[in-house]
Structure 1
Amino acid sequence: MSNLTLDVGLAAKLKVAFARNDWTEQLIDAACEGDKLGQFRKVLLGRAVITQVEHVIDCDANPFNPWANDGFTIEEHQKGGQWKFDPKQVEFFLSSGQKDGKVIEGNKLRKELAKKPVFNANVLDYLLAHPEPIPDEWKTDGNGNTRCIFFWGTVYRRRGGDLCVRFLYWLDGRWTWSGYWLGHDWNGDDPAAVRAN
């Protein structure tokens, strides 16, 4: 055990460094648990290295069907290969019919998106299981409205024939999902997740 004393000057230096690197009280508490700081000490002494977790998503796999027991089927699933998650490669596409307070019916929007590189529900399900890399900016749009991010690469069909697309959104302090019928209207809070150029 070290006999380190934390004087005012050292505490101020730590506070500035934490702030400069976007640390929160919760992150500092987490760093103080167990031997995390001991592991970090090994990095500083050159005895260990830090590697960044790569979140690779299999966009070719068969999609999860949360409504399979209710008779839903997969109407369409656009495969997208192995994709390493990078939020800079995700663009939130809005049709002109969704902008400036306008709405567009889902089936019309689907036709508009037919030639766009939309992400499928495998990305949605991976992010639900591994929410750590999701940027906070995804929670709301520029006006502070909850953003519903749609994954049009996977379309589901209800037994009665209606089509549905799943979306990711922030609710009650966590990421969750829901589905939306194509017969309904999409507005400016409902972007499609597409691969950026």
Structure 2
Amino acid sequence: MLDKREILVKKAMELFAQGGYTGVGIDRIIAEAGIAKMTLYKYFPSKSDLILEVLNQRDTFFRTSLMNYVNQQEGLSQKILALFTWHDQWFKRKDFNGCMFINAAAEFHNRKDPIHQVAALHKQLIIDYIASLLLETHGTKSGKLASQINILLDGAIDAAHLTGNPNAAMEAWEAAQCLIDRR
């Protein structure tokens, strides 16, 4: 059974994904979570604290799920393909609402804002993971190539979300293959 803190975070994550961070108010979160306002403030002194916790939990879930999926594959090309097939499956889920980190950075655009910093850290951790996959075969070029692959993934996320392109991830995979083959 979930405790009240977990209920708040889970409901906030769902609502922020659907309606944005500034578009969803505390009153709506507590009403839908069935939690008293004092309970919310017991765990999260501000809405920013709640947003940070949501992003931290989303980061853990996202990266764990992605890395477990990719790490099941054998060989570099299958692992890189798995990055894109994982995203393809995510885009086709009914609850897909784009990237919570891209959205957070857009809503909290000041790079010194802790929310923006958590979003940027998530993206850097994804790049670092991709670079670790590429390191053995691409050496010193692995960081740059990982950044380029992440740009393709982020572009696919935006294309799937903004235009509803159901094939965005696999189209990005085709572009990634060109980058990888070029190296």
More helix by share: 2
Q: Which has the larger radius of gyration?
A: 1
Q: Which has the higher contact order (CA 8 A, sep 6+)?
A: 1
Q: Whose strand fraction is larger, Structure 1's or Structure 2's?
A: 1
